[in-house]
Each structure stands twice: as C-alpha cells, then as structure tokens.
Structure 1
Amino acid sequence: MEESRFQENKVEGRNAVLEAFRSGRAVDKLFVLDGCQDGPVRSILREAKKKDTIISFVKKERLDQMSETGKHQGVIAVTAAYQYAEIEDILALAQKKEEPPFLFFLDNIEDPHNLGAIIRTANLVGAHGVVIPKRRAVGLTATVARTSAGALNYTPVAKVTNLVHTIEELKKEGLWFVCADMGGSTMYEVNLKGPIGLVIGNEGEGVSRLVKETCDFTASIPMRGDIDSLNASVAAGVLAYEILRQRLQG
C-alpha cells in the first residue's frame, strides 16, 4: 500500500480551503485567523458549519507555524487520510452480510496508535464499523491509517457529533450497548449476542458518565495482576473477542 494513501493534508489559502469543503473532502479541523471576518472567510466558515467541522480561531503566529507553503491567507484546513462513512453505511454492511450489527463506539480515544489498533481489531472480529466523536478525539490521521494495517480499506469509520444521541437512535433500531467498565459484571457473565455496540472509553478516564448511563450493560475484564487497567486498544480486543466467541456459539 502506497504511503500516499496515508497522507492527511493541510489545505492552505482561501480558494483552496473553500474548494476542499465544496468538493466533499473530509475536513477534520479548520484553523482561522482570529478576528478575520471578510467575505471569503465568512463563506469558508459557512461551509465548515454546514459540515459541523471543528473550527479553531488562532493567532497569526500559530498559522505561520502550521503553514507549509507560507501562503495560508488566514485559513488552514486539515483533511482526513480517509473518507468517513455514515452510520447508515455501517448498518447497510451488516445487512448485506446478513449478520446482526456489531459496532465499536469509541468515547474520546486520543492516541492515534490506539485508534488504528482498534480499527484493525474491529476488522478481525467481524465488526461492521467503528464510530468516533467529532470533538476531543483523534480522527483518521496518517498514523491511524498506518497502524490499522489496511483495515481502514474494509472497516468503515463514522464520525458523529454526539455519541449519546447516536446510541439512543440506534437503540430504536434494535441495537443494545455494552460499556467496558471495571465496575461491571464479568464479561463471561454477560450475554453479548445479537445486535450490539461495544463502547470503549478514553485512555485515562474511561467511558464518560453520560455515555455510560446510556448503555444497557457494563462488562468488566477479569484481571489478576498488580496494576488495575488495560490499554484501551487491548481492552477493546479482549471484549471484542468475547463477543465473537459468543457469536460463534450461535
């Protein structure tokens, strides 16, 4: 796989950034010179808000540091290394395979290596897709793409504004949600069959309170060591393989 497939790009300059939005490219973040509100910049901001892109207003020094061309004209867009999918695409993939949906929901994973490893695991256990939040989490960067070892070509990743709202909507579609949490029932005691969303939390703080409260169950991983937590991608893998084991049992 060519390295060029893994490049997230900085798009600089007003016309180039506006075209990036209008062409449908996946823009993870938009950086705008603080206080700049002329016509072209307002047009860019309108497009960014339509796509619910994260917008950061920064000082000229920050833009100058980020710029690779020296001609940013007060705007720099950071595009994703891969296109994002929609939740509907993930559900359609499950339907096409005639399988009950199996989704990973990642609550503010910040380490790109963790995200890439989780996407790789999701593919290997037969999950139909991964859902990540738009804010306070890493997107599909080049590092994520490389770490996924090609899984991004097969496992769609959707980016949503609100995890809680998305979980509530999918519950109406018949999915139920299990959250990884040390205070939950041991994963071997939880029925993990059927249409399911596996929720994995942030590397340091775990699953946020509102997301946890929206889940149907919590499941813990039994541990016998001297430390009390697993890396987020390892925890995702352990729980995902228990879901696969139960699915294989029928």
Structure 2
Amino acid sequence: MSGNRPHQGVVLEASPLKTVELSHLSFVDSEGRYTLEGIGESRQSTKPLWLAMDQIQDPHNLGSILRTSYFLGIDGVIVSSKNSAPLSPTVSKVSAGAMELMPVYSAKNLVNFLSASKEAGWSIIGASALSSPSKGIIHVDKEHHPIPFPTHARILVVGNEGKGLRTHIHRLCTSIASIQGNPIINSLNVGVATAILLQAIH
C-alpha cells in the first residue's frame, strides 16, 4: 500500500485485491432480483444501476470513480480485463478506501458482457462528448431539469480517457448521455464526468 511513499507511520501488509470475473447480468424480475452470471451470486435492487469502465487506464481516474460509485450507492462496478488500470495501492489511496469496501468485477470481453446483459433486458447508457446520428442524445445540463433516463435495469458505460467509447460498445448502447457545458472546453475528466452522470441517472 505504501509503495515507498509517505505512510504517516503506519503500514499494514495485506494480500492484493483481485477483480472477480462475470459473464453478464441476468434478467431482473418484478421484485428486483437478478444474478451475477459467472459466479452465480444473487442481488436485489428495485432500480439497479451498474457502472462499466471500458479501458480506463489512469489509476487516479479509477480510484476517483470507485470512490464516487461507493458514495452514491451504485449497485456494481465492472472493468474490462484488458487495457485497464489494475487494482493497486495508488487506486486504493485515491479511492479513499472504497476499493476495499466494494467488490470490483471484470469482464474478459466487455462487448460480450454488455451484449448479453442487454439481451437480458438491461439498458446500456453510453457516456459521450459527441452526438450520435443514430441514437437520441440525453443531455445533462446545469439547470438540473428532469432527465429521461431509463429507470429499470441500467448500465452506464464510460470510455477510455483519450479515445472514449470503442465503436463496438457505442453501437450496443440503447441511449447516449452527454454533458452540456462551455463549448470552448468541450469535455471533462472521465472521473468528473462519471460523477455527474451517475448522480443524474441515480
């Protein structure tokens, strides 16, 4: 955890945390019950909201997003197994301990995870700074107007810091969420954008 950095006089030796691999999320029944396919674990939530991170590579961004997700009570977080920042001391420190308090799941193929979850009835909401001609854009604005996001089973997907969502994932999305702001600076840090979108959807 200390990583040869200042540790305020206290160091605890612990085994590294690992992600748990899932195949997809199952259908959510009328009482909010569903299964984490791949490990067979059952969950229950009337309006489940999961966060999927597609190739988030900066450990500070990952830690910040985990902290926000835990604070807001998001039902689950899943990352792509490849090209993603690992769970590390840096991630743990930036997350303010959230990495130890909530399980972080992974998908060997995030496209397949989202596709199978979508077939099971989950809405896939993609975060994007760009408009899409093929899908309606849900704009999150500073006036905090009511936002027409899906209210049943939802997965918000945020993309890589530089490239955003991959094309295959963008095509899977049932809707796209975009944050309106000053056109001179047309995008936000992925950690900040994720926090705004999770709060708006949740």
Q: Deviations over 1:5-34 (max 9, x none)?
A: 677xxxxxxxxxxxxxxxxxxxxxxxxxxx
User: In 1, distance between residues paired with 2:76 and 2:189?
Assistant: 21
User: In 1, distance between residues paired with 2:40 and 2:185?
Assistant: 38
Q: Is 2:143 aligned against 1:185?
A: no
Which of 74, 86, 99 matches 1:152?
A: 99
**1:107, CA displacement in angstroms?**
0.9
Q: Deviations over 1:168-214 (max 9, x none)?
A: 11123321110011213313543242211011111111111111111
Which of 49, 52, 61 matches 1:114?
A: 61
Query: What stretches of structure 2 of length at least 5 have no aligned partner?
Result: 2-9, 23-35, 132-136, 141-145
Q: Is 2:64 aligned against 1:129?
A: no
Partners of 2:92 and 2:99 within 8 A in 1: yes
User: In 2, distance between residues paired with 1:94 and 1:241?
Assistant: 22
Report the TM-score when normalising by structure 1: 0.61
> Superposition RMSD on alpha carbons, in Å?
2.4
Letter in 2 for 1:235: A
Q: Give the % identical residues.
A: 31
Alpha-carbon spacing, 1:208–1:91, altered in 2? closer, same or farther (3 Å): farther
Q: How many residues align?
A: 169
Q: Is 2:116 aligned against 1:169?
A: yes
Larger gyration radius, structure 1 or structure 2: 1
Q: After superposition, where does 1:48-87 map in structure 2 within 5 Å? A: 81-87=16-22
Query: What stretches of structure 1 of length at least 5 have no aligned partner?
Result: 8-80, 245-250
User: In 2, distance between residues paired with 1:3 and 1:94?
Assistant: 35
The residue aligned with 1:10 is none
Q: Which has the higher helix share?
A: 1
The residue aligned with 1:209 is 167
Partners of 2:49 and 2:74 within 8 A in 1: yes
Q: Is 2:199 aligned against 1:241?
A: yes
Letter in 1 for 2:102: T
Partners of 2:147 and 2:200 within 8 A in 1: no
Q: Which has the higher contact order (CA 8 A, sep 6+)?
A: 2
Q: Is 2:12 aligned against 1:4?
A: yes
The residue aligned with 1:230 is 188
**1:138, CA displacement in angstroms?**
0.7
**1:83, CA displacement in angstroms?**
2.6
Report the TM-score when normalising by structure 2: 0.75
**1:94, CA displacement in angstroms?**
3.9
